[in-house]
């Protein structure tokens, strides 16, 4: 199965991707995770990407397409994948279509998680992430059992550099301008499935699994 999770920053794409890959047994390909890990490793791509991510801007299409192309054409991606955070522009979607056509593959579904802007700002500014396993917490809605520490692996929780309120506002502006047009792009291709992303994590996962089962 080849699946895209679409939605604004903080809609729950990363959280859902983590849960879905276990159920669907396909790898997750997250361009955000790839960029963060490259930045931690101090590679040229990582440091170049961080100049954009820290300001809430999108990393240029060419860099991102180069980053995912290798991954989408690797053996690990032979039996499908879940894309989290890619594509984010029409140009990236077109590049994905070219890669798929070259490999005689197609997408199965594009799931759009709908969450209003006001809720996104509240969610992201209270978001804390485990730097080791990537688990995400919300300080009020689903806090860790022990303050500041991941329930799963005991690592200290951090706030992402791009989760500061002003950066979140900029990420939302960029989302509406550059990424939202993908909703129509995939609707026209009859691939779009819409989900109310304001429901609980488990309800959203169940709704996605349900939609995929109906295909
Ligand atoms: P995410 O973890 O998906 O929220 O991504 C974090 C940041 O990485 C985004 O705000 C962008 O700056 C950058 N990024 C991730 N994926 C892409 C992409 N497909 N195109 C451009 N920039 C991206």
Distance 63 CA to ligand 1 centre (A): 11
pLDDT value at position 65?
95
Q: Does residue 87 have a cis bond before it (omega within 30 degrees)?
A: yes
Name every residue whose Cβ is closer than 8 Å to that of residue 208 and which is 6 or more positions away in sequence: 16, 20, 111, 195
What's the pTM? 0.90
Q: Best of 59, 68, 179 to mutate for ligand 1, by most ligand atoms within 8 A of CB?
A: 59
Farthest CA pair distance, the chain: 49
At residue 11, does pLDDT exceed 90?
yes
pLDDT value at position 161?
85
Task: With CA atoms as reference, report the closest residue to 10 among 161, 85, 169, 120.
Answer: 120
At residue 196, does pLDDT exceed 90?
yes
Ranked by mean pLDDT, the top range of 17-31, 40-54, 128-142, 176-190 is 176-190
pLDDT value at position 141?
83
Classify 158 as helix, strand or coil.
strand
The response to whether residue 90 sits with its C-beta less than 6 Å from ligand 1 reads: no
Residue nearest to atom 9 of ligand 1 (CA): 53
pLDDT digits (tens, 9 = 90+) for 129-187: 998 998 999 998 889 999 999 999 999 999 988 888 899 999 999 999 999 999 999 99
Distance 59 CA to ligand 1 centre (A): 7
The angle at the Cα of 193, spanning 179 to 67, to the nearest 5 degrees, equals 45
At residue 202, does pLDDT exceed 80?
yes
pLDDT digits (tens, 9 = 90+) for 65-119: 999 998 998 888 888 999 999 999 999 999 999 999 999 999 999 999 999 999 9
Length of the chain measured in residues: 215
Specify the pairing of strand 28-30 against strand 81-84. Answer: parallel
**What's the rounded Cα separation, in Å, for the pair 97 and 102?**
9
pLDDT value at position 160?
87
DSSP 21-77: HHHHT--EEEHHHHHHHHHHHT-HHHHHHHHHHTTTPPPPHHHHHHHHHHHHTSGGG
């Amino acid at each position: 199965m080849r699946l895209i999770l679409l939605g604004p920053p903080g809609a729950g794409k990363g959280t859902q991707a983590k849960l879905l890959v276990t159920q669907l047994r396909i790898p997750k390909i997250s361009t955000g995770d790839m960029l963060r890990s490259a930045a931690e490793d101090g590679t040229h791509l990582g440091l170049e990407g961080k100049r954009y991510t820290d300001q809430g801007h999108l990393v240029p299409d060419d860099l991102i397409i180069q980053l995912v192309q290798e991954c989408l054409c690797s053996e690990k991606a032979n039996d499908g994948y879940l894309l989290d955070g890619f594509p984010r522009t029409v140009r990236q979607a077109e590049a994905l279509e070219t890669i798929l056509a070259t490999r005689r593959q197609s997408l199965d579904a594009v799931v759009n998680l709908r969450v209003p802007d006001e809720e996104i700002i509240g969610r992201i500014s209270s978001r804390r992430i485990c730097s080791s396993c990537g688990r995400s917490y919300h300080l009020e809605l689903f806090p860790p059992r022990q303050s500041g520490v991941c329930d799963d692996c005991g690592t200290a929780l951090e706030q992402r550099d791009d989760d500061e309120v002003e950066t979140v506002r900029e990420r939302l502006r960029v989302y509406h301008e550059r990424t939202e047009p993908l909703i129509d792009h995939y609707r026209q291709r009859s691939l779009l499935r819409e989900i109310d992303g304001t429901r609980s994590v488990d309800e959203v996962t169940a709704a996605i699994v349900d939609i995929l089962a109906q295909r």
